């Protein structure tokens, strides 16, 4: 039984497929406009969080495989955060991971398409970057658009399990990238070690692990490291993460084959290619 049938990171694939088939979209990409995102109440700690200027995060580990190959909790990276649904102005439990990707508009995230394609999660969707110990150091950002490939929207094709999200800070013209920094978008399978960061949905801090990404198929890569469980879908595969804020080049997101994997010890991602680049360009043009 696949991981996607448990709440291990995923919206169940059967549910996603049935919802997407209703859309019947035939273009190259599908654009979902998320409307009616309510402002969070003043009593919500997330809404009261002050948006800080970009900060340097000490990166005390080199880009070499982790020892042991088991995910470890850490203080987080500004450009990676958790996706929540907001219910009545309050945050519910986070359910997936996303990260800020460099763009001219400064307001784009990347995650797995299966995280954001079901109606349960596309309404009142918000992103909390740099979440750690249940503190929201860069505030709460509302998702206003979800851009997925038509091959995903029509058939939940696992080779197209990637999405770009447009975000805004309610009531402001702020650009999230100016506060958190961003990962560059990379194409092709990485040749070196990648760092994968995710937010298990049973804790308020992220996990990370580093290892060489292996080849699973012509369109998919795999990452072997233990304990990537519920909530880590959409977590970025980051190469060349040597900057002072922990950013580098995003070359994958947990998803793809079996919506990310059958066990928490092996994670999958699509290999970004021309379709991913075209999807990114579409998201930029419509953000």
* Per-residue pLDDT reduced to its tens digit, 13-29: 333 333 343 333 334 34
- Report the C-alpha gap between 129 and 136 in whole angstroms: 7
Name the pLDDT band for 141 (thresholds 50, 70, 90).
Answer: very high
Element (H, E) at 153: helix 150-155
> Within a 10 A sphere around the Cβ of 68, how many other Cβ atoms?
9
Half-sphere exposure of 151 (CA within 13 A, CB side): 11
Residue 134 Cα to chain centre, angstroms: 18
> Within a 10 A sphere around the Cβ of 87, how many other Cβ atoms?
11
Q: Is the pLDDT of residue 170 over 60?
A: yes
Q: Is the pLDDT of residue 94 over 50?
A: yes
Residue 34 has a pLDDT of 41
Residue 32 Cα to chain centre, angstroms: 17
Q: Is the pLDDT of residue 86 over 80?
A: yes
- Report the C-alpha gap between 185 and 103 in whole angstroms: 9
Contact (Cβ atoms closer than 8 angstroms) between residue 223 and residue 214: yes
Residue 88 has a pLDDT of 75
* Mean pLDDT, the chain, integer: 81
Residue 182's alpha-carbon distances to 99, 210, 249, in angstroms, are: 8, 19, 9
Residue 224 has a pLDDT of 96
The model's pTM: 0.83
> Within a 10 A sphere around the Cβ of 238, how many other Cβ atoms?
29
Element (H, E) at 280: helix 274-285
Token output for 49:
């969080």
Name the pLDDT band for 30 (thresholds 50, 70, 90).
Answer: low
Write out pLDDT tens, residues 171-220: 889 999 999 999 999 999 988 899 999 999 988 899 999 999 999 999 99
Nearest to 211 by CA among 96, 70, 59: 70
């Amino acid at each position: 039984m696949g991981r996607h049938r448990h709440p291990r990171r995923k919206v169940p694939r059967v549910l996603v497929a049935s919802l997407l088939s209703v859309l019947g979209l035939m273009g190259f990409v599908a654009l979902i406009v998320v409307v009616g995102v309510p402002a969070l109440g003043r009593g919500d700690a997330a809404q009261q969080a002050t948006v800080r200027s970009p900060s340097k995060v000490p990166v005390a580990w080199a880009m070499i495989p982790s020892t042991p190959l088991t995910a470890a909790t850490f203080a987080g990276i500004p450009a990676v955060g958790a996706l929540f649904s907001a219910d009545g102005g309050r945050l519910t439990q986070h359910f997936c991971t996303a990260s800020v990707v460099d763009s001219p508009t400064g307001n784009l995230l990347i995650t797995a398409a299966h995280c954001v394609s079901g109606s349960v999660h596309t309404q009142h969707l918000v992103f909390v970057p740099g979440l750690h110990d249940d503190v929201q150091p860069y505030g709460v950002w509302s998702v206003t658009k979800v851009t997925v490939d038509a091959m995903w929207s029509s058939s939940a094709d696992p080779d197209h399990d990637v999405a770009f999200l447009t975000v805004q800070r309610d009531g402001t013209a702020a650009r999230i990238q100016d506060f958190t920094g961003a990962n560059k978008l990379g194409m092709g399978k990485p040749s070196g070690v990648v760092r994968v960061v995710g937010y298990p949905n049973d804790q308020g801090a992220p996990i990370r692990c580093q290892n060489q990404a292996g080849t699973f198929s012509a369109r998919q890569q795999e990452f072997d490291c233990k304990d990537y469980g519920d909530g880590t879908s959409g977590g970025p595969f980051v190469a060349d993460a040597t900057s002072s804020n922990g950013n580098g080049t995003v070359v994958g997101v947990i998803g793809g084959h079996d919506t990310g994997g059958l066990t928490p010890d092996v994670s999958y991602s699509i290999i970004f290619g021309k379709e991913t680049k075209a999807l990114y360009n579409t998201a930029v043009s419509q953000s």
